[in-house]
A and B are shown apart, each in its own frame.
Chain A
């Protein structure tokens, strides 16, 4: 059994960003196909984890594993329209932090 590692240590880049004013998208990128496959087979980063963490409907989440880019991407409708009253993150650039602590076995 391998030592568990945090997703934040394993990924080359984790980022969040607006995808237009009505969507938010997250990219998790890996330096190697091996790291990418390790996260894919661990099956801990899932639609249900996303729905629970970000308090959104599971059905509204687009989740894709992209082999050509050694990357995982997920998106969902922005809970608040970009820039609407009460906005805290205009670019959605700092919404990825909870991903860092996912344990990958």
Chain B
């Protein structure tokens, strides 16, 4: 070990969410040894992996990336960006590289740029499945080779090893495909020989930026790791990292509050002790990391159809009083009309979901509240079909028929749904499904990843 402590900044929870300029400036003044930032997640659903498109806008990512590249240049320390393009597919890394080059050109920056690609070919994953190198995690959906082959994209979530591989070669900027958020922060400290218990716990604590502090604003934190533990403080001077705020963050988006699985083993924070160092800073000791069989988490998505949706509102109290039977009656007609027009069966090739906002749309059958009758109900019609054109055709006869579906209280032709848009039908495009909750047993921590290096 060359130094007795190492420091990091996590400038924001996700690249493109933003941070305060003065916070980053303060981070720079604290002279961290590395800047790392996550740029992706599965949290927003299967669309981003399935389609390979980013969630954050280019302008939002460009804004944050520019500031981080300039900060890195000033400090001459590595900048590590993980899960580029939200899902970490290859095109997400290319997208981030293209922005990196644009900024370098505009700002006159030069650096050694490394890229790590983590997308996996469906064919080779089907082979790995066949040879028993893919294993299901608890509660994973049933899969077979065909289903793996049908994935539009599969990524393997890298550990810290591929990043260390580039840091050892003194790369200044490392753009990663899908990566464990924590691996971005633990790579340099582990390479320098710091103990994995404090390193991984620190990484887990700071990976979402200032969410581990008392502020909920998108912003950054500064952390220091030494032989026995780590300390964290927010970059913004008007908020704090308290024992409670740090311990609470270990809970966030984890099924288990103490055990966090990484490719190389398990972080156990059960015996972590949180000690207040000042009003703004807390120290953590006592977490341990147990090395285990090396596994890489796989994420994969397949296209399950195309959707067209329509939104409308009902205000008539007569309709609201009988809305369930009103919708059920029209559904019978929709099934007949679908069969007549396309030969297809509602509930098989074509699916229709009608949600009633204002009445159990959020919790569905789990709703136990004895609700009073609302004065409005928002209706969401959602048609899913194997092709977009078919979904749209079906949605068009549904919206028209639904809006004029009679009720016995009125004698004559009614308009029972208030549609806000013309046309009321909105094509949603392809919809995707997460199909893998599995791990790959790789030949080595590096074998599943591809490296590209260049001087900018």
Residues of A within 8 A of B (CB): 17-23, 25, 27, 29, 53-55, 60, 62, 64, 66, 68-71, 73, 75, 77, 81-91, 94-95, 97-98
Contact = CB atoms under 8 A, between A and B. Distances in A.
B22 interface: no
B351 interface: yes
A69 B256 contact: no
B270 to A, nearest CB: 9
Nearest to A18: B43
Given A21-B434, A75-B256, A83-B432, A69 B247 contact: yes
A73 B434 CA distance: 25
Contacts of A68: 243, 247, 272-274
A74 to B, nearest CB: 9
Given A53-B368, A64-B258, A95-B363, A83 B47 contact: yes
B45 A66 contact: no
Contacts of B150: none
A27 B44 contact: no
Chain A to chain B: the 8 pairs with minimum beta-carbon distance, closest first: A69-B247, A83-B45, A75-B255, A19-B255, A21-B434, A77-B139, A83-B46, A23-B255
Contacts of A88: 355, 361-364
A103 B244 CA distance: 25
B435 to A, nearest CB: 8
12 contacts: A19-B255, A20-B42, A20-B255, A22-B139, A25-B254, A53-B366, A62-B255, A66-B251, A83-B47, A88-B363, A97-B369, A98-B363
A21 B247 CA distance: 23
Contact of A69 (B45, B138, B251): B251
Contact of B257 (A53, A55, A66, A89): A66
Contacts of B351: 85
Interface in B414-450: 431-434, 437
A102 B163 CA distance: 47
A7 to B, nearest CB: 15
Contacts, number: 115
Contacts of A64: 256-258
B353 interface: yes
A83 B247 contact: no
Given A55-B366, A62-B255, A95-B363, A22 B140 contact: yes
Contact of B437 (A22, A89, A97): A22
Nearest to B245: A69
B244 A70 contact: yes
Given A62-B256, A64-B256, A73-B257, A90 B251 contact: no
Contacts of A60: 139
Given A22-B437, A66-B257, A85-B351, A27 B45 contact: no
Contacts of B43: 18, 91
Given A21-B434, A27-B251, A75-B255, A82 B45 contact: yes
B454 interface: no
Interface size class of B (residues with CB under 8 A): 35 or more
Contacts of B244: 69-70
A54 B272 CA distance: 31
Contact of A90 (B45, B248, B253, B355): B45
Given A55-B365, A62-B255, 12 more contacts: A17-B252, A17-B253, A21-B434, A27-B252, A69-B250, A71-B257, A82-B434, A85-B353, A94-B362, A94-B363, A97-B369, A98-B369
Contact of A81 (B141, B257, B362, B366): B141
A69 B243 CA distance: 8
Contacts of A62: 255-256
Contact of A25 (B253, B273, B369): B253
Nearest to B384: A85
Contacts of B361: 88
Nearest to B273: A68
Nearest to A75: B255
B124 interface: no
B49 to A, nearest CB: 10
Contacts of B273: 68
B304 interface: yes
Contacts of B353: 85-86
A71 B251 contact: yes
Contacts of A97: 363, 369
Interface in B328-357: 351, 353, 355
Contacts of B137: 22
A87 B365 CA distance: 13
B304 A73 contact: no
A75 B253 CA distance: 10
Interface string B237-276: 0000001100110111111111000000000000011100
Given A20-B42, A53-B368, A85-B351, A29 B253 contact: no
Contact of A21 (B46, B243, B362, B384): B46
